[in-house]
Amino acid sequence: MAALPSGTDAPVDISPAADLDAETLARLFTAGYEGYWFHIELDAVAFSRMATVSDADLTLSRVASVDGEPVAIVLLARRGSEGWVGGMGVAAPHRRRGIGRAVLTNTLEAARDAGIERVTLEVLEQNHPARELYEGLGFEHVRDLEVWSLPNGPGEPREVDAARAHAWLRARREDPEPWQRDDASVAHLEEVRGLMVDSAAALVRIAGGRVGVLQLAGQPDALRELLTGARALGESLVVVNLPAGHPASAILEALGGSLDGRQHELELRFS
Ligand SMILES: CC(C)(COP(=O)(O)OP(=O)(O)OC[C@H]1O[C@@H](n2cnc3c(N)ncnc32)[C@H](O)[C@@H]1OP(=O)(O)O)[C@@H](O)C(=O)NCCC(=O)NCCS
């Protein structure tokens, strides 16, 4: 049994997520995000896909149970000495009883014991409960990340071999990519397409008519041409977790895009 702060009325058992099947974990993840700013509903297939793409480690991820019923989850992904919280949630009736802090603390201890030196995560700027929790545990601000969308419009996508665009991006990238769009995530994805103009390149993936931009870099004029072409590939274009101040922000705004959300990237260093 994990020790919980006073005021908690039920004993909580914390165990590795690997002890549960994907269907139970998907249900728990969905319940943990009840009342969130956008709807999150996963089935076993979607949960497993998400876990694979992010390199989730279910032996380090943790589930909290009350009276034998799972009520909270922290999904921890690992790449070498780097860890990433790929989501956490406490089922609504069990919130504000210390369970979120207990299950996250237990996960972080497991991560540190396994040799992870730094854990990062992203949190919506308006998610004050989660921000309080993370900051209380010592997480510190790294940078702001933006979520942009752009409706379809006329443009000429210049497609190239994805490997060629990726090599160009790798050679020129100045800032680390956020976890979900980093090279290791991209390597797990199918049907990644490359776009290139003279001095800009992007990797995109089209799903459900939506062009998801995975990575992009380049000079402003070339980036504008690149994004104008990319938006023509689908009904809309989305860039998730674009670092604030990236030259693409101003271009997306000028093209009529909307800033749909802002996240804080936080980190906790163990050493
Ligand atoms: C964020 C969340 C996980 C917190 O879980 P929880 O079990 O309610 O949190 P705890 O009871 O352990 O609280 C720990 C600390 O978090 C902060 N906190 C939690 N809920 C809060 C709230 N509603 N308002 C302000 N601070 C809050 C406080 O600092 C609290 O410490 P305190 O009780 O000493 O004041 C929970 O609200 C949740 O599941 N939300 C929906 C999913 C989500 O937003 N996940 C995070 C995605 S980044």
pLDDT digit string, tens, across residues 160-215? 999 999 999 999 998 899 999 999 999 999 999 999 998 999 999 999 999 999 99
Q: Binning pLDDT at 50, 70 and 90, where does residue 7 land?
A: very low
Q: Residue 10: its pLDDT value, please?
A: 64
Q: What is the distance of C-alpha 15 from the center of its chain?
A: 23
- Higher pLDDT, residue 179 or 5: 179
Place of tokens 């921000």: 131
Ligand 1 centroid vs 103 CA: distance in angstroms? 11
Pairing of strands 210-218, 236-243: parallel
Q: Quickly list DSSP for 208-259.
A: TTEEEEEEEEE-HHHHHHHHHHHHTTSSEEEEEEEETT-HHHHHHHHTT-EE
Pairing of strands 140-151, 236-243: antiparallel
126-157 pLDDT tens trace: 999 999 999 999 999 999 999 999 999 999 99
Which atom of ligand 1 sits closest to the CA of residue 130? 1
- How crowded is residue 101: how many other Cβ atoms within 10 Å of its Cβ? 17
Ligand 1 centroid vs 81 CA: distance in angstroms? 27
Q: Binning pLDDT at 50, 70 and 90, where does residue 3 land?
A: very low
CA distance 255 to 239: 14
Ligand 1 centroid vs 97 CA: distance in angstroms? 9
Q: All domains of the chain, ordered by start, with CATH?
A: 12-116 (3.40.630.30), 146-266 (3.40.630.30)
Compute the average pLDDT of residues 79-84.
Answer: 98
CA distance 92 to 90: 6
